[in-house]
Chain A
Amino acid sequence: MNTLATAAQITVGVNLLFLGSLIWVWVRNYLALRSKHTLGMLVFASLLFIENGFALYYYLLDPDLSVWFSTQVPDIAWYAMLSFHVLEAVALAFLAWVTLD
């Protein structure tokens, strides 16, 4: 089991949780306010949610790519990809912090 692959999967899962909570807030606000600002944020979060959903799908479920990711990808490539996922998680954590207020 590749530790870096597992770390990437967990980080993508965390991103999905942050995005899920943002989407939950913005759906409720959109229903209450019908504001274009809220709709814009909702669309933005939904697209990022789909992006992370695809990442997790390719890492874990896709019959060809999940095998490739878990066995063939060298550590140096995992470090690069993991850094994107971690930076996104930090960004989403700050956005969730100001939003869940």
Chain B
Amino acid sequence: MEAALWYVLSGTRGGPNRARVLRAVDERPRNPNQLAEALDLNYDTVRHHLDVLADNDIVHASGDDYGAVYLPTDRARNNWDVVEEIIEGLEQP
């Protein structure tokens, strides 16, 4: 888990934005529209990042309809020290 987590956040082209998405849903669960607005990203970009994070079991959707909110998984929370190490380098939003 730890290797997948840090590669997805710090090794991939979309990594820094995925780290911002993860930090935002950790503050409070949000849907893709709210994330797009809060992070100043395109809606489709946010959807893509959420899909990659969900594929790697880092976030999951609560509810499965259009307005579903996303939040960190238990696995991500159990490795939150790794997440902190990566997001502490990010600029504040």
Binding site for B on A (CB under 8 A): 25-26, 28-29, 32-35, 37-38, 41, 98-101
In the complex, which residues of chain B have a beta carbon less than 8 angstroms from the beta carbon of A29? 10-13, 15-16
Q: Are B90 and A32 in contact, with the CB atoms below 8 A?
A: yes
Q: Are B86 and A101 in contact, with the CB atoms below 8 A?
A: no
Known contacts A32-B89, A34-B89, A35-B86: A98-B10 contact under CB 8 Å: no
A33 to B19, CA, bound (A): 9
In the complex, which residues of chain A have a beta carbon less than 8 angstroms from the beta carbon of B7? 37, 98
Q: Are A38 and B11 in contact, with the CB atoms below 8 A?
A: yes
A32 to B20, CA, bound (A): 11
Q: Are A33 and B52 in contact, with the CB atoms below 8 A?
A: no
A33 to B82, CA, bound (A): 13
Q: Are B13 and A25 in contact, with the CB atoms below 8 A?
A: yes
Residue in contact with A99 in the complex, picked from B11, B19, B86, CB distance below 8 Å: B11
Q: Are A33 and B15 in contact, with the CB atoms below 8 A?
A: yes
- Chain A min CB distance to B24 (Å): 16
In the complex, which residues of chain B have a beta carbon less than 8 angstroms from the beta carbon of A37? 6-7, 10-11, 86
Q: Are A38 and B12 in contact, with the CB atoms below 8 A?
A: no
- Near A by CB (< 8 A), chain B positions 1-56 give 6-7, 9-16, 19, 52
A29 to B12, CA, bound (A): 8
Can you identify 5 A-B contacts, CB atoms within 8 angstroms?
Answer: A29-B16, A32-B89, A35-B86, A99-B13, A101-B12
